[in-house]
Amino acid sequence: MSYTNFTLDTDADGIALVTWDMPGRSMNVFTEEAMRELNAIVDTVAGDAAIKGAVITSGKDTFSGGADITMLQKMLTTFATEKDKDVEKATKALFDNAGTMTGLFRKLETSGKPWVSAINGTCMGGAFELSLACHGRVAADSDKVRMALPEVKIGIFPGAGGTQRVPRLTDQQQALQMLTSGQALSPQKAKSMGLIHEIAEPAKLVDTAKAMIRNGLKPVAPWDEKGFKLPGGQIYSPAGFNLWPPAIAILRRETYGNYPAAAAILKCVYEGLLVPFDTALRIEQRYFTEIMQTQEAAAMIRSLFVSLQELNKGARRPAGVPDTKFKKIGILGAGFMGAGIAYVTAKAGIPVVLLDRDMESAAKGKAHSDSLVSDQVKKGRAKPEEKDKLLSLITPTADYADLAGCDLVVEAVFEDSAVKKSATEQAEAVLKASAIFASNTSTIPISSLAKNSARPKNFIGIHFFSPVDRMMLVEIILGKKTGDKALATAIDFVRAIKKTPIVVNDTRGFYVNRCVLRYMSEAYKMLIEGVPAPMIENAAKAAGMPVGPLALTDETAIDLAQKIMKQTMRDLGDAAVDQKQMALINTMVDDHGRFGRKNGKGFYDYPAKPAKKKLWPGLKNLYPQLAAEKVDYEELQQRLLVTIALEAARVMEEGIVTDPREADVGSILAFGFAPFTGGALSYIDGIGAKAFVKIAKKLQKKYGAEFKAPKLLLDMAEKGETFYERFNPYSKGDVKQAA
């Protein structure tokens, strides 16, 4: 029998080699067809007396990325369509579909023939669950090999036996940590946990796997043998009593109950380890069916997998523009931002010219890269030779003539129009006519800066976030005259450095900063109202934000907030800034010298390590404090999310962002907007426009005009629309769902 996605070859010893190599794909994934074929292969191996066992490996550089997420989407779509007709029947169908992969892997595990998984590269999700169902597991000794069950990161959990096999192979504490965090494991870590048996040289991977079968590998999983004991002890044991109560408390502390999938993992493991294995798999299947019906799963799958993947593949890239192969990139300004951009560019293997006003400043910028990569080497995340290569790609200079031949120049000089004008003119004087010039400005409109350019069609904004090496989002800002080639080149660059691009039309603050400033502003209002600072920060975290608004202000600097407010007043008049908030910031900066983390004093105090930061006690003396019992804690959470979501809606109404995928993904990657909601617009869609407008009107009546719903939302509420219906990113048919 021939297969499309696999090949099956049996050697002289009777060992079958199953090679997974899907045509037309860069990575193997489980599709319905692939599972049907694997099912047939399991039957062939089990039914052929000449076959002693089987090794499964990949014909690609990676092993597999797991299940094709479109299968899950299809399941969800079918359920949504059918549940209104017969919810019990629809739920049963969802349950049966959820068990397909579970049943296939259990069939392999109990087939009576030994199976070994030879893991040659990335092995994620369902592919690692397949490997765990094999009787032996060998991983290549390579930095390219990473094993993980990362499903919790997109709102679901390992539902094909992962929650049952992992805690039967390793101790429950390590199992829970791995499953609830989605952490990736190196071969060494996986072996120390007992999740794989051997590590082999890449060239000897398959031979090592075959040797396990030749040496008498038993075709029985440990949990199917009589007398099996759990590693680390039973649930009801001293070890279990010490683990489970704190584990539940830690999960609550870390998630605030916002992630149903994470809670379901604990339930699956706890309940599953108390019963026989096949019953445990059924428990897992039931919880998986339940989680698949949650709003959180649907929103997170869409934004954090499908949309993210589409944007990373260049969904917003203009069609018909040839790809840019970067030979040389220039960075103007070797300060913190410029140095960070140089680092990520060199890390991508692209030569960089790092220019500043003198060689000393430029060399200092390169030293930033030296520091970052040296830290990676120290932690074992990079090799010394990788450090040498990266640093060799960065050329510090003070001479604009060295920019000759650059395909792209990114300007990251001081945020001053005159300084930027000079840098633009000097750079363009030596650049080739086809080169693209980008500004990393965070406050000055791109169309205004483009007036300094002799070729505004080639002028664009590429706005990075700090710190550049860790922040995954980049805003690409279109000026009024920016051409398709500039946009395509900018997207190509952002993709080359492995970051996610979103495309934004020109406006003050662009998209992300407009939303972030609303978040901070609402916190200032709360302080002025007398809400205790700890309640503000805790409410933000309970709402799903990774960092409280006061801590975030400290990170970006309170004196920067002061400068932005003053500049806004100069540009738009005093009424453009809440004067009570201006007074609060002036008090912090001018009266108390509290600039934020950078000087160790902000809304928080920053003592020397290892002591942790703590809120400045003086905050409670700035305004009369409300008694905690008089503060509506849930309303605080609501205010912080609603103010951001309203600004995102305004940005869509103004046409600053035109694609809801970019608004959602951008809000999560840039400032961590409650990921379980799927992003700022999905938050509104999840509540429903009509219900959201009702909430906004209530808050507007109580707290002011910033909660006024834009006309767009009022219209959507009247028509019962969602953002993904109103601004359907697939309506033109030019972007397909990710596979």
- Give the C-alpha separation, 63 to 115, whole Å: 16
How many whole angstroms from its chain centre is CA 246? 27
What are the tokens at 640?
């912080």
In angstroms, the first-to-last Cα distance of the chain is 27
Counts of helices then strands in the chain (DSSP H, E): 31, 18
Q: Which residue stretches of 573-688 are H helix?
A: 579-586, 633-653, 660-671, 680-687
Give me 433's structure tokens.
């006519």
Burial of 81 (0-12, 13-18, 19+ CB in 10 A): exposed
410 forms beta bridges with 331, 438
Preceding peptide of 610 cis, ω within 30° = yes
Instruction: Give phi and psi for 535, each to the nearest 5.
Output: -70, -35
Q: DSSP readout, 309-378?
A: HHHHTTTTSPTTPPPP--S-EEEE--SHHHHHHHHHHHHTT--EEEE-SSHHHHHHHHHHHHHHHHHHHH
Q: How far apart are CA 698 and CA 85, in angstroms?
A: 36
Between CA 364 and CA 337 the distance in angstroms is 12
Under 8 Å between Cβ of 693 and 714: yes
Those residues whose C-beta lies under 8 Å from the C-beta of residue 523, and which sit 6 or more positions away, are 536, 540, 548, 549, 550, 553, 640
Please report the DSSP string for 92-148 in residue order: HHHHHHHTHHHHHHHHHHTSSS-EEEEE-S-EETHHHHHHHHSSEEEEESSTT--EE
**Annotation says 463 is catalytic:** yes
Instruction: List the Cα angle 383/385/389 in 5-degree steps.
Output: 120
Distance CA 332, CA 422 (A): 11
Helix (H) or strand (E) holding 409: strand 408-411
The amino acid occupying position 188 is: Q
Residues ≥6 apart with Cβ < 8 Å to 545 = 519, 640, 641, 671, 672, 673, 674
Beta bridge partners of 417: none
**Structure tokens that stand for 416 in this block:** 């001053």
CA atoms within 13 A on the CB side of 344: 24
Looking at residue 63, its amino acid is F
Do 642 and 695 contact (CB within 8 A), yes or no? yes
Determine the Cα–Cα distance for residues 95 and 190; give it in Å rounded to an integer.
Answer: 31
Active site residue: 135, 368, 463, 592, which one? 463
* Residue 37: strand, helix, or coil: helix
Q: Coil, helix or strand for 504? A: strand
Q: What is the dihedral of CA 605, 607, 611, 613, to 10 degrees?
A: 20
For 600, left (φ over 0), alpha (ψ -120 to 50), or beta?
Answer: left
Q: What are the CA-CA distances from residue 375 to residues 165, 371, 382, 719 (Å)?
A: 36, 6, 9, 54
Hey, what are 32's tokens? 């319905």
Using alpha carbons, list the distances in angstroms from residue 147 to 121, 122, 131: 8, 6, 10
391 φ, ψ (degrees, to nearest 5):
-70, -30
Q: Which residues, in sequence order, are bridge partners of residue 119?
A: 139
DSSP string, 39-104: HHHHHHHHH-TT--EEEEEESSSSSB--B-HHHHHHHHHHHHHHTTT-HHHHHHHHHHHHTHHHHH
- Residue 554 identity: D
Residues noted as catalytic: 463
